[in-house]
């Protein structure tokens, strides 16, 4: 018990932090996003967060459904995809989506944190590997880039 408690106590040291708001970024364009996550809770939460930022969001709960949706012609500015997915895993789903010529920003958002998983997801075609949860420090710069508020690198 002690090691975990000590590790967790480092937190923010009890300092008062500025309350977070979704007004940190105001989008000028209507951006769309697809959330691919087999976990109901994570899918719902990620959708809620993206919608709070102003994105129009769809969700699917497996890799095969994601591929089918893209193949049907649906277009997204941003795709969040988990690695561990039922029916068709996130690695293969990513490969198939990229093979269709989809060039949108894809984030591999997963509870896995190992270097091997990171390399595999990047090799499959995601632009960025993110250990869950996807926080504003990662998401906001990406949204600004997609919205044209930053010059593309």
Partner 1 sequence: MVGTTLSQQLKNYIQTMHAQGMLDHHFDHVKALQNEENPQFVMDVISMFSHDAEAAIAHLTTLLNSAVVDFAMAITLVHQLRGSSSSIGGQRMAIACRDLRHACDNMDKERCLQVLERVKQEYEALRECLHIIFQQPVSGTPLCSSDNQLVAQSNRVPAQWMLTVKN
Q: Where does this chain bind partner 1 (CB under 8 A)?
A: 1, 4-5, 7-14, 16-17, 19-22, 39-42, 44-46, 48-49, 52, 82, 84, 110-112, 132-133, 135-136
**What tokens appear for 87 in the block?**
């029916």
- In whole angstroms, how close is the CB of 133 to partner 1 at the nearest point? 4
- In whole angstroms, how close is the CB of 88 to partner 1 at the nearest point? 16
- In whole angstroms, how close is the CB of 131 to partner 1 at the nearest point? 8
Question: 135 to each of 9, 99, 109, 119, how far by Cα in Å?
Answer: 20, 29, 11, 21
User: What is the full DSSP assignment across 127-148?
Assistant: SEEEESS--HHHHHHHHHHHTT
**What tokens appear for 23 in the block?**
């007004």
**Which strands, in side-by-side order, build the sheet including 56-60?**
56-60, 32-36, 78-81, 105-110, 128-131
- In whole angstroms, how close is the CB of 105 to partner 1 at the nearest point? 20
Find the DSSP H helices in 2-135. 2-9, 40-53, 63-71, 90-99, 115-124
**Which one, 8 or 153, has the nearer CB to partner 1?**
8
**Which one, 7 or 72, has the nearer CB to partner 1?**
7
- In whole angstroms, how close is the CB of 52 to partner 1 at the nearest point? 6
**Which one, 20 or 72, has the nearer CB to partner 1?**
20
**Which one, 21 or 72, has the nearer CB to partner 1?**
21
**Which one, 16 or 153, has the nearer CB to partner 1?**
16
Question: 35 to each of 5, 38, 46, how far by Cα in Å?
Answer: 33, 10, 7
């Amino acid at each position: 018990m002690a090691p975990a408690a000590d590790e967790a106590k480092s937190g923010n040291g009890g300092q008062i932090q500025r309350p977070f708001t979704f007004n940190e970024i105001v989008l000028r364009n209507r951006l769309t996003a697809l959330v691919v996550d087999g976990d109901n809770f994570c899918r719902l939460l990620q959708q809620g967060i993206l919608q709070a930022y102003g994105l129009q969001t769809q969700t699917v709960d497996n890799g095969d459904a994601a591929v089918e949706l893209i193949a049907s012609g649906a277009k997204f500015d941003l795709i969040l995809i988990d690695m561990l997915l039922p029916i068709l895993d996130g690695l293969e789903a990513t490969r198939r989506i990229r093979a269709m010529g989809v060039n949108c920003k894809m984030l591999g958002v997963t509870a896995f944190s190992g270097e091997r998983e990171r390399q595999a997801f990047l090799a499959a075609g995601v632009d960025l590997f993110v250990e869950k949860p996807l926080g504003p420090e990662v998401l906001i710069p990406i949204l600004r880039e997609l919205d044209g508020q930053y010059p593309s690198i």
